[in-house]
Chains A and B, each alone.
Chain A
Amino acid sequence: MEKRSFMFRLFQLIGLGLLQVLILNRISLFGYVTPLFYIWMIIRFDTSMNRSAVLLWAFFLGLSIDLFSGTPGLNAASATFIAMLQPAIVKLFVQLDRHDVLIPCSATMGGRSFAGYLLLMITLHHTCYFILRSIPLGDWTVLVLKIVFSTLMTFILMIVTESVTMSSGYKR
């Protein structure tokens, strides 16, 4: 599989950033549920990427979202956090040889492994995000509700996106 170019990633960052800031940030079901779809970019990082590059991309992705949401550092911290764990999490779900290059998706990982990978990544990210956002921690039940339902919402969105891109044969 060929490697993604710098320009591809830059456009992906801008596209996902706009989607998040212009549309998704305004969704707030019952005051709790906000999908954080922008981490799709981190989900799709391939295994051949330099780890420092992974971290830097994630950091700037988060920071650009922060800039337009009035939350300095919040998304940057949580995005960098899962970007650090991403390579290890991929290896949890698939056996990789040293030189395998793999872009995580249902075609390369298998549907069930990919779903598991997605769920774990999203849960980690959302947990980090909502804990940081609610400091000083007050109401635990509300916090847990926010994490659980937002995770579900992002998960559903991503599964839908995955099935659409799969069926149209277009790989984002």
Chain B
Amino acid sequence: MRSLLDFIVKHSYVFLFFLLEILSLVLLFGFNDRQKEAFLTSANSMSGTIYEWRAGVDQFFFIRKENTRLVEENTRLREMLYEMTDSQYVDQERALSSSRVVAARVVDNSIRKDDNYLTINKGRRDGIAPGMGVYSSDGVVGVVMVTGKRYSIVLPVLNGNSSISCKKKGSDSFGFLEWSGGDPYVAQLKDMPYHSAVEIGDTIVTTGFSSVFPENVPVGTVAGVERSKNGYTLRIKVNLSCDLSDLGWVYIHTLTEDEEIEELNEQILK
């Protein structure tokens, strides 16, 4: 008996080993998606500051590039402004007043995993809520998934669970943009009707149906078109216009109350 006890005491580390391994594996596999989200948010609120610090260092190095990008965007916007006729201008103003755009900085980002997430430094405090669209000056980035007080986690296009409704610029037939891992610069547009005339090089933009994104935010260009297995729809390879590995500032499309009420009303009337 005594020798058995001795044995156990002497080899207690073996039990500790199994205990720790089981604990880690429970953490790794025992989490369902909801718990994983909870882990992400708690980790997020704790590590947000560190992420931001790191992003600050990064930004120091990329500030020139970021500046150029902003100037380019400004130029583009100015051109648009000058080209507009007066009546369009009024329309545009109305459109702008009904929705609000918040700028945020990306403080953490990944593109190489199968399920990528990114963290931005705006949260509930700044009026961010889950379901809002996120885009950069180059194009669509993703949709807000969870919000903390000061930070939010975005489900980017480069995540297996992401699905964003898109169309060919200037046409009305639409499909859903999805990503199935692998190349972080290419996504697939599914469920586009077979009769829609899509060709390589066409520009793909958001539909604006769900008011997650405004209409006509660039998504990418068509890199390949093929018929899906069932034959009724097209599978389109899209070269994403926004390089998700290289994000500085992003914009979040927030809904003001007006639009929200309108949307709810529509739902009731249906």
Residue numbers of A with Cβ under 8 A of B are 21-22, 28, 31, 34, 50-52, 54-56, 59, 62-63, 66-68, 70-74, 76-77, 80-81, 84, 132, 135
Contacts and interface: CB of A to CB of B under 8 A. Distances in A.
Contacts of B12: 52
B43 A52 contact: no
Which of A55, A76, A77 has most chain B Cβ within 10 Å? A77
Tell me which of B27, B31, B57 has the highest count of chain A C-beta atoms within 10 A of its own C-beta: B27
A55 B13 contact: yes
B119 to A, nearest CB: 9
Interface residues of B, number: 29
Given A21-B50, A68-B43, A68-B47, A73 B13 contact: no
Given A59-B20, A67-B43, A132 B28 contact: yes
A113 to B, nearest CB: 25
Contact of B112 (A28, A54, A66, A73): A28
Chain B, interface SS category = helix
B17 A84 contact: yes
B24 A80 contact: yes
> SS class of chain A's interface: helix, strand, loop or mixed?
helix
A70 B112 CA distance: 13
Given A52-B12, A52-B13, A72-B31, A59 B24 contact: yes
B111 to A, nearest CB: 8
Contact of B25 (A56, A63, A66, A73): A73
A130 to B, nearest CB: 12
A67 B46 contact: yes
4 residue pairs, one from A and one from B, having the closest CB atoms: A73-B27, A73-B28, A77-B24, A51-B13
B61 to A, nearest CB: 12
A74 to B, nearest CB: 6
Contacts of A59: 20, 23-24
Interface string B17-37: 100110111111101000010
B54 A22 contact: yes
Given A22-B50, A70-B40, A70-B117, 18 more contacts: A28-B111, A31-B184, A52-B12, A54-B13, A55-B16, A55-B20, A63-B24, A68-B50, A70-B39, A70-B110, A72-B28, A72-B31, A72-B36, A72-B39, A77-B24, A80-B17, A80-B21, A81-B21
A29 to B, nearest CB: 10
A52 B117 CA distance: 35
A77 B28 contact: yes
Contacts of A31: 112, 184
B24 A62 contact: yes
B26 A73 contact: yes
Interface in B127-148: none
A153 to B, nearest CB: 14
B56 to A, nearest CB: 11
25 contacts: A21-B50, A34-B112, A51-B13, A52-B12, A52-B13, A54-B13, A55-B16, A56-B20, A59-B20, A59-B23, A67-B46, A68-B43, A72-B28, A72-B31, A72-B39, A73-B23, A73-B26, A73-B29, A74-B28, A76-B20, A77-B24, A80-B20, A80-B21, A132-B28, A135-B29
